[in-house]
Structure 1
Amino acid sequence: MLHTIKQYFNRKGLRDPEYEFLFEPYTGEEAVSFDCETTGLDVHHDEIISIGAVRIRGNQILTSEKLELFFNPQQEMRVESIKIHHLLTCDLVDGVPLEEGIRQFLNFIGNRPLVGYYLEFDVAMVNRVLKPMLGITLPNRQIEVSGLYYDKKIAAIPQGNVDLRFDSIMHDLDLPPFAKHDALGDAIMTAMMYVKLQHIKYLEKF
């Protein structure tokens, strides 16, 4: 009930009827895995520098249906974030304008569910741009892979500790990691986790 009320008021805030489709109930079989790279980890002050997204249909990761966007930030990137994504300000000078990129992202995801690793942060970063731009926050259903993994792991080791680090989950699921941790690569690896977790009842292996 609370979710329905929130969605009602969220939709009422929409300032561009072109994006009404975001609020329509989704009845298909696809989801979208996405990831953001940012100038830092402060959702209130840092900026998105890259978005990677890929569609999932059933057990298939549709790498031919992907989106990769780069943005030129207005602030310097923090050293800690550069060590992760290896992007420098000079690498982003030809990036698309942020609002234009967010519109491309909305058209790519449609009203499909969103899949991510610590998805709350990525959604919050998008919403920080989306709210002043269109008057809404992302209404899509959100699926957190670390939560899916935890539920299946803790069922086998109820008194144990569950390692939720990205690389640890990939290793435990016996999935091949990509050498480069960029937004699109992380989105594809997250999609791999999601697809495999759909077919596992519980995880005994450490």
Structure 2
Amino acid sequence: MNIFNWIRRDTPQLSAAQQQRLAALPAAAALSDAPLARQRLVVLDLETSGLNLQRDQLLAIGAVVIEGGAIDFSQQFECTLHRAGHKASASTLIHGIAPSAIAAGTDPVEALLAFMEFLGDSPLLAFHAGFDQHMLARALRESLGYRLRHAFLDVAELAPLLCPQLTLRRAGLDDWLAHFHLQAAERHNASADALATAELALILFSKARQQQLDSLLALDQRLQGWRRRQRMPAI
């Protein structure tokens, strides 16, 4: 194959209007030392065709906003992406998104542009954030040629950090929700899981303030030390 044909095929083709929207996206904000109650945070959950970081596709995005120290129900995002030729697989039994819904979904370029406009410059929260960060970054790169630079905080790390007395260190979202008597309206639904994660995050932020950790910057710095300790061999 001619290398120039490969480059043209692999470069996202955006309309002039889409290019303008892409260029207008704000730069990601750095983690701030402002109080948590003054932060706008976007809590994200993704549904994918599987767990392979290189092969599987992003199928749905769900997100809610924490602002002013509470969940702002006027700011929510939900979208299923169109994926040509998508077929049912084992993951369909988990996320429940039928191939017909994906066939009728939103064009990935439009879906991802809309999400990034919704996100703005805000930091992101997710449960097991590394997976969501990688899958979102890959989708943005492939569909928009966009490099994701937004900060991610992992609620799966914040929970054991801020609740060291508990024995749920490697627990999943269901375990933490059960511990705090929270319920997800529908598990493995992107919007419902994002809302449940946001509710859990607010409880954790309350615990953070009790520990004099009242900013995203302070939480991130404490997390870095926590990660180093987790990697240390047991004596």
* Normalised TM-score (structure 2): 0.71
| Structure 1 residue 18 corresponds to structure 2 residue 28 | no
Shift of 1:133: 4.1
In structure 2, the partner of 1:8 is none
Shift of 1:67: 0.6
User: In structure 1, the residue corresponding to 2:207 is in which secondary structure?
Assistant: coil
Structure whose CA Rg is larger? 2
- 2:184–2:195: 8 Å Cα contact kept in structure 1? no
Structure 1: tracts of 5 or more residues without a match: 1-14
Residues 162-205 of structure 1: CA distance to partner in whole angstroms, max 9, x if unpaired?
A: 24211001011221232343000011001011111011269xxx
- 1:40–1:77: 8 Å Cα contact kept in structure 2? no
In structure 2, the partner of 1:6 is none
- 2:29–2:150: 8 Å Cα contact kept in structure 1? no
Identity percentage of aligned residues: 25
User: In structure 2, the residue corresponding to 1:51 is in which secondary structure?
Assistant: strand
Question: Which 4+ stretches in 1 moved above 3 angstroms?
Answer: 23-28, 132-136
- 2:184–2:192: 8 Å Cα contact kept in structure 1? no
Distance 1:59 1:185 in 2: 19
Distance 2:69 2:140 in 1: 30
Out of 58, 68, 87, the position equivalent to 1:76 is 87
In structure 2, the partner of 1:12 is none
- 1:52–1:183: 8 Å Cα contact kept in structure 2? yes
Distance change in 2, residues 1:187/1:171 (3 Å) = same
The count of residues paired between Structure 1 and Structure 2 equals 183
Alignment of 1:63-142 (within 5 A): 63-74=73-84, 75-79=86-90, 81-142=91-152
Residues 45-89 of structure 1: CA distance to partner in whole angstroms, max 9, x if unpaired?
A: 11111100111113311122101001122332421x112211110
- 2:47–2:188: 8 Å Cα contact kept in structure 1? no
User: In structure 2, the residue corresponding to 1:191 is in which secondary structure?
Assistant: helix
Structure 2: tracts of 5 or more residues without a match: 1-18, 33-37, 211-235
Out of 183, 186, 191, the position equivalent to 1:184 is 191
Distance 1:161 1:53 in 2: 25
Shift of 1:24: 4.6
Shift of 1:142: 0.9
Shift of 1:147: 0.3
Distance 1:22 1:121 in 2: 22
